[in-house]
Amino acid sequence: MIATIDTRIRRALGAIRQAFRGRGGAIDTTAPVQLIDGEGLAGEPIRGAELMQHYGFTSTPPSGFMYVAVPVGGKTSHAIVVATEHGTYRLKGLKTGEVAIYTDEGDSIVMKRGRLIEVTTETYRVNAAKAIEFNAPAITGNATGSVAFNTPEVTASAVVTAQGQINGNGGMAIKGGKGSTFAGDVTQTSGSFSTDGDVRIAGKSQLHHRHPETGSITGEQS
């Protein structure tokens, strides 16, 4: 009798489809939940299987991806995909504990050992409606071409140092502090030099200096 019961149980369980693996093809990304077409490893066609993903995370795997599906109620026709993988594009060689986000085009964000986050891409764009803020002891940018800021104003709270030439096309205004200091030659062309103060050349005031030929002092009333 027990053998008969076991046979009937096995027969009943055999009629219920267990979780299975498959290979995906087309994906409908317009639906509230993405729908997958593909086939199971036994060759059976899968149509419109829901691809369940965690809230806040979504991806559309390229054709040929592998998946694991759970048939709700044991029915293949109502399978839900709970995991996907694509061995061709998966980042390989990660160390234990490392995490990565990647695409089939080679873009990736890798959280590496040593608390290092590395981003690899061709164009990196950040869209922020209010502000972008970086907080760090030091920030280094390495640009082999140029760096451009399309903004009406650039402000630094302290010293600005340039190791090369400083060029300007809109004029220059400096005020406050201890004035301006130049070391080296200064050349001024295409205009005039104006000041409402004194100019000293080789220590000699241009407002108050004595003329040896007359003995008078420039700037003093006779």
- Which pLDDT tens digit goes with each residue over 65-103? 999 999 887 777 788 999 999 999 999 999 999 999 999
Cβ proximity of 177 and 159 under 8 Å:
no
Residue 93 shares a structural domain with residue 81: no
Q: Is the pLDDT of residue 213 over 70?
A: no
Q: Is the pLDDT of residue 118 over 80?
A: yes
- As a whole number, mean pLDDT of residues 172-199 equals 83
- As a whole number, mean pLDDT of residues 95-115 equals 97
**Dist CA 35 CA 179 (whole Å):** 69
**Dist CA 108 CA 199 (whole Å):** 60
160-171 confidence digits (pLDDT tens): 999 998 888 888
Residue 1: what pLDDT?
Answer: 66
First to last CA, the chain: 138
In a domain, 62, yes or no: yes
The residue out of 56, 85, 114 marking a domain boundary is 85
125-164 confidence digits (pLDDT tens): 999 999 999 999 999 999 999 999 999 999 999 889 999 9
Q: Is the pLDDT of residue 112 over 80?
A: yes
Residue 12 shares a structural domain with residue 62: yes
Residue 95 shares a structural domain with residue 66: no
The residue out of 40, 65, 85 marking a domain boundary is 85
Residue 114 shares a structural domain with residue 53: no
In a domain, 17, yes or no: yes
Residue 61 shares a structural domain with residue 114: no
In a domain, 210, yes or no: no
**Across all residues in the chain, what is the average pLDDT?**
87
Quote helix, strand, coil % in the chain, to nearest 5.
Answer: 10, 25, 65
In a domain, 217, yes or no: no
In a domain, 127, yes or no: no
CATH number at residue 69: 2.40.50.140
The count of domains in the chain is 2
In a domain, 215, yes or no: no
Residue 52 shares a structural domain with residue 106: no
Whole-model pTM over 0.85 = no
In a domain, 13, yes or no: yes
Residue 210: what pLDDT?
Answer: 67
**Dist CA 49 CA 20 (whole Å):** 13
**Dist CA 106 CA 124 (whole Å):** 13
- As a whole number, mean pLDDT of residues 1-18 equals 60
- Domain residues for 112? 89-122
Residue 54 shares a structural domain with residue 105: no
Q: Is the pLDDT of residue 113 over 70?
A: yes
- As a whole number, mean pLDDT of residues 104-121 equals 97
Residue 61 shares a structural domain with residue 94: no
Residue 21 shares a structural domain with residue 39: yes
In a domain, 141, yes or no: no
Residue 47 shares a structural domain with residue 19: yes
